Amino acid sequence: MTLLIGGTGKTGRRVAERLTARGETVRIGSRKSETRFDWDDESTWRPAIEGERSAYITFYPDLGLPGAADRVGAFADLAAAHGVEHLVLLSGRGEPLAREAELRVENSGAAWTIVTCAWFAQNFSEDFLVDAVLGGDIRLPAGDVAEPFVDADDIAEVVAAALTDPRHRGQRYELTGPRALTFAEVAAELSKATGREIRYTPISFSEYEDVLRAAGLPVELADMFRGILDGRNAEPADGVRRALGRPATTFPAYAAGAVDAGAWS
């Protein structure tokens, strides 16, 4: 069996669909699933990994926050000690604290695959930026920095491959889209796809903290974004092609698919 931590989330549910279609048995681990898993309650960890062969690790709210590496490392050590053979970690591209978590997984004693990702394109259609798109104004402290947004379906395909094909063990895949876009260019692409005017408004990090508070998200995310929205991640990587042998999905293709799915209806 394969444990999917956060198996109802953006990537987790997509991985579950792909593994199930391949005839694999999956166990969904989350706060509200039958297999309860809570990063803040270590008593839920061992029951979730009993009998598991592999695990997909996602950390909420973000692996780049202080303390995340210690929790992920403790879980990885526990999993390896109880017979989990292979760990696949979802990580954040260009986040120093996320890299600490990666190293903890790599040193756990289990086989590993690291999937380190650019910003998800689905943040605009399934997560904290949905309301901004619907309201026609994306407000972020990103200036004119470009980001090669990655499609969550690409991530899920890589993770599913890693969990079912031993050739991916010991690999670190850096997943991005094929082209970097500024947030102003993203707004233009979303305008084109939806047929509505959507703009991007640069704001300060202090203003963004107010946005996070209003959304019920940790204000520490503003500090994390300050560190990664500096151009360090602007260059696209070839992880999707390395893992799957095909190009990464473009942002316009993602946006068209999201419109077809009724994301902003």
Q: Give the per-residue pLDDT at 106.
A: 98
Q: Looking at per-residue confidence, does 216 or 192 come out higher?
A: 192
**Taking the CB of residue 240, how many other CB atoms lie within 10 A of it?**
25
**What average pLDDT is seen over the chain?**
95
With 0-12 / 13-18 / 19 or more C-beta atoms within 10 angstroms meaning exposed / middle / buried, residue 39 is buried
Q: 3-state class of 120 per DSSP? A: strand
Encoded tokens for 63: 């692996």
Rounded to 5°, the CA angle 152-243-123 comes to 15
Q: Give the per-residue pLDDT at 217.
A: 80
Q: Give the per-residue pLDDT at 180.
A: 97
Q: Looking at per-residue confidence, does 257 or 213 come out higher?
A: 257
Strand partners, 265: none
Q: Name which of 70-74, 167-171, 205-209, 221-225 the model is least confident about.
A: 221-225
Q: Give the per-residue pLDDT at 223.
A: 77
pLDDT at 199 over 90: yes
% of the chain residues with pLDDT over 90: 86
Q: Give the per-residue pLDDT at 72.
A: 98
Instruction: Give domain 2-260's CATH number out of 3.40.50.720, 3.30.70.100, 3.40.50.150, 3.40.50.300.
Output: 3.40.50.720
pTM score, two decimals?
A: 0.95
Residue given tokens 């895949």 in the structure block: 173
Q: Give the per-residue pLDDT at 36.
A: 96
Residues 26, 5: Cα–Cα separation, whole Å: 10
| DSSP sequence for 67-107 | THHHHHHHHHHHHHHTT--EEEEEEETT-HHHHHHHHHHHT
Strand partners, 181: 147
Tell me whether strands 54-57 and 86-92 are parallel, antiparallel or unpaired.
parallel
E-state strands within the chain = 2-5, 26-30, 35-36, 54-57, 86-92, 111-117, 137-140, 146-147, 172-175, 181-182, 199-202
Residues 178, 168: Cα–Cα separation, whole Å: 21
Query: Which residue ranges make up each domain of the chain?
Result: 2-260
Provide the pLDDT confidence category of residue 226 given band limits of 50, 70 and 90: confident
Q: Give the per-residue pLDDT at 134.
A: 97
Q: Give the per-residue pLDDT at 65.
A: 87
| Nearest Cα residue to 173 out of 112, 117, 109, 256 | 117
Query: Using one digit for the tens of pLDDT, what is the confidence trace for 10-62?
Result: 999 999 999 999 999 999 999 999 999 999 999 999 999 999 999 999 999 88
Q: Are 189 and 252 in contact (CB under 8 A)?
A: yes
Q: Give the per-residue pLDDT at 76.
A: 98
